[in-house]
Structure 1
């Protein structure tokens, strides 16, 4: 499982995306799952990081899901029209 940090804002996005891409390369499961439960402080950059991680996973032939997406981030994903790209595990 890929675990997101407690804080994921514009300042943290590039480093977090690199960390997740590295972790994704070591994952052996057919579905990459990002655990968003640690997220406490975030902005729309968190969506960009998740979508980047999804793109990387799909390029590796894996499906992608997000566990424990905070309601506020789920709502933001809906506003941007990308909520369906970030399904919960089992729904992907």
Structure 2
């Protein structure tokens, strides 16, 4: 399972995306080879962030779809859920239900 860092800010986004993209590709290949369909990302450590985290998550979801897996973000902080709702992208990140990001 991949994990988001404790801090995701706009100044670190390009480097974070480069690393995340590489990790997503590697993880997706293992999942597909194992006949899986879901790639989990743990957001439980995320404490400091701005709206760029939504861009990263949406980009990750898009990449996962291209790679044949579905992104599932687990342990989503309430503040991030609210930010996604305010920006109107919560349904894109958590299509199952508002509580979907609460996973274990």
TM-score, scaled to structure 2: 0.80
* Partner deviation per Cα, 1:27-55 (whole Å, 9 max, x = no partner): 12221111101111100011111111111
Which is greater in Rg? 2
Choose between structure 1 and 2: higher helix proportion: 2
Aligned residues: 90
RMSD, aligned CA: 1.5
Gaps of 5+ in 2: 32-36, 95-99
Moved over 6 A (4+): none
C-alpha displacement at 1:86, in angstroms?
1.6
TM-score, scaled to structure 1: 0.89
Q: Distance in 1 between matches of 2:80 and 2:65?
A: 22
Q: Distance in 2 between matches of 1:49 and 1:2?
A: 14
Q: Which residue is equivalent to 2:75? A: 68
